[in-house]
Amino acid sequence: MRTQVAIIGSGPSGLLLGQLLHRAGIDNIILDRVSKEHILGRIRAGVLEEGMAQMMEEAGVGARMKRENLLHDGFDMVFDDEVHRIDLFNLSGGKRVHVYGQTELTHDLMDAREAEGLTTIHEAQNVQPHDFDGEKPYVTYEKDGVSQRIDCDFIAGCDGFHGVCRKVLSDGGMQTFEKVYPFGWLGLLADVPPVHHELIYVNHARGFALCSQRSETRSRYYVQCAVSENVEDWSADMFWDELRRRLPDETAQKVITGPALEMSIAPLRSVVSEPMRFGRLFLAGDAAHIVPPTGAKGLNLAASDVHYLFEGLREHYLDRSDAGLDVYSQKALHRIWNAERFSWWMTSVMHRFPDMSTFDRRIQQAEFYQLVHSKAASTALAENYVGLPY
């Protein structure tokens, strides 16, 4: 087989890139090691920046999102039961965020790809990128026990944090910067109305909690948990009790509980791998970076990576220029590090660290005081939360 761009990974990064390339007349094939159903079974991000929403429109797959998404102008932060609303819309000069689940976004991208008859090879085993430091890269894989090869001009490594591209590059000059947090997030998805019309981020003595949502009838909640926790040890009732312990009484009494559609524990880490280009292999999304979900940046960073990479590939094929590809890594990393800073900061302010001192706790309280009383501090938060410019 031959294609212009071989994309490894059928998550949001790979699918969005594939759709944009196709609409620009650039041929591409996507490979993933798991089934479509497996990918759609993952419950992940819920908050989209305006930039991601615009990318979905640009890719021609924004119709359902525009119909079904919830537009949020702000969110609440709770410290020691004191509630403070961050007025995103007015602090950011009129920007807001879109609440629309990653699962739905991935579904929309997959549906569009299938409707266009584009090639996605699921359950491809032992996918390997080859000769990307030369002019003729290719990808090999096994499907139904048969070895296959795809010759291409470029390879896009959109295969996430545990993907093969990171592994192949880890001893080839890639530099990785990492911070692991001493806690995780236990998440629960349920078909119950959200407790509030906007998100609520909580710093409580028992730990962080987040009240999020997917629609007016489906809610997503998280509580900070120890890294040693096993999701099998948690029932939905135990989760609801712990969540309500961490909310202000008035809010806790309004929580509508129900059976869990899904429960899972996500570890929290900050990771950046540099550079994001190795010859004709380009990394995008979680394959190159991970952020703690506190700032809702993970999926949104994948969008800006794809934006820069797509522009570079389009220039290569349509304008015969490699200027965009030559600055891809530098451009993407600039925005990535700013989002890493924001996600680290928001995680540091909102979580209870096992080893935190009384000094650390006072600093957290001072951070919250700044957000409540300084327009400059809350404006900086708002500008980062709605998304820095591409």
Point out which residues bind ligand PHB (CB under 6 A).
45-47, 199, 212, 220, 293-296
286 binds, among ligand PHB, ligand FAS, none (CB under 5 to 8 A by kind): ligand FAS
Report how far residue 226's alpha carbon sits from residue 355's, in angstroms, rounded to the nearest whole number. 12
The residue assigned the tokens 């295969």 is: 159
The reply to whether 201 belongs to the active site is yes
Query: Which of these is catalytic: 100, 293, 316, 328?
Result: 293
The reply to whether 72 belongs to the active site is yes
Can you give the three-state secondary structure of 90-149, one letter per residue?
HHCCCCCEEECCHHHHHHHHHHHHHHCCCEEECCCEEEEEECCCCCCCEEEEEECCEEEE
Query: Which of these is catalytic: 138, 201, 308, 328?
Result: 201
298 binds, among ligand PHB, ligand FAS, none (CB under 5 to 8 A by kind): ligand FAS
DSSP per position, 6-52: EEE--SHHHHHHHHHHHHTT--EEEE-SS-HHHHHT-----EE-HHH
One-letter amino acid identity for 251?
Answer: T
What is the closest distance, in whole angstroms, from the C-beta atom of residue 31 to ligand FAS in the complex? 5
Q: Please identify, using beta-carbon distances, which residue of 286 and 340 lies nearer to ligand FAS.
A: 286
What is the closest distance, in whole angstroms, from the C-beta atom of residue 274 to ligand PHB in the complex? 25
Among 231, 266, 372, 377, binds ligand FAS (CB under 6 A): 266
How would you classify the pairing of strands 146-151 and 138-143? antiparallel
The reply to whether 389 belongs to the active site is no
294 binds, among ligand PHB, ligand FAS, none (CB under 5 to 8 A by kind): ligand PHB
Q: Does 108 bind ligand FAS (CB under 6 A)?
A: no
Q: Give helix then strand counts, H and E, for the chain.
A: 14, 20
Report how far residue 383's alpha carbon sits from residue 97's, in angstroms, rounded to the nearest whole number. 11
Q: Please identify, using beta-carbon distances, which residue of 96 and 361 lies nearer to ligand FAS.
A: 96
Report how far residue 166's alpha carbon sits from residue 172's, in angstroms, rounded to the nearest whole number. 10
Query: Which of these is catalytic: 141, 181, 221, 385?
Result: 385
| SS3 state at 305 | helix
What is the closest distance, in whole angstroms, from the C-beta atom of residue 295 to ligand PHB in the complex? 6
How would you classify the pairing of strands 97-99 and 47-48? antiparallel
312 binds, among ligand FAS, ligand PHB, none (CB under 5 to 8 A by kind): none
Report how far residue 52's alpha carbon sits from residue 145's, in angstroms, rounded to the nearest whole number. 38
> Can you list the pairs that 319-322 forms with residues at least 24 positions away whose Cβ atoms lie under 8 Å?
none
Q: Please identify, using beta-carbon distances, which residue of 163 and 324 lies nearer to ligand FAS.
A: 163
288 binds, among ligand PHB, ligand FAS, none (CB under 5 to 8 A by kind): none
By the criterion CB under 6 A, which residues form the site for ligand FAS? 8-14, 31-34, 39, 44-45, 102, 124, 127, 158-160, 162-164, 266, 285-286, 293, 296-299, 302
Positions marked catalytic:
72, 201, 293, 297, 385
